[in-house]
Amino acid sequence: MTLESWLRDRTPAPPPRLAERIGEILGDRVSRPATEAHELCLDAAVALLRELRGRPPGRESALDLLTVDALVTYAFEASASEPEKLQARALSAMSGLSLVLQ
């Protein structure tokens, strides 16, 4: 199963424009195995957050902020299938996301 098919199976489905933006941000990552969903979604979220930090704040960033949130949520939804890795992944995610915000 690819990340793209895994995302398509999530319920509830995101609004169409958010789903489209998630796909744009993930790019070629969507063809990778769904078993890599945590890393792929989190890497994409960190990259988008880094890009957002370089922009002036404003309403035009709202969709991208929602996209970051959705990607992090999907990363941890994927991690639920491997609870033994959850703590390490959470610490790594917090570290990666906080570095962007410093």
The confidence band for 9, taking pLDDT boundaries of 50, 70 and 90, is very high
Domain count within the chain: 1
Do 66 and 74 form a contact (C-beta atoms < 8 A)? Answer: no
pLDDT at 63 over 90: yes
Parent domain of 91 = 3-101
Average pLDDT score over residue span 76-99: 87
Rg, C-alpha atoms of the chain: 13
**DSSP 8-state secondary structure symbol assigned to residue 59:** G
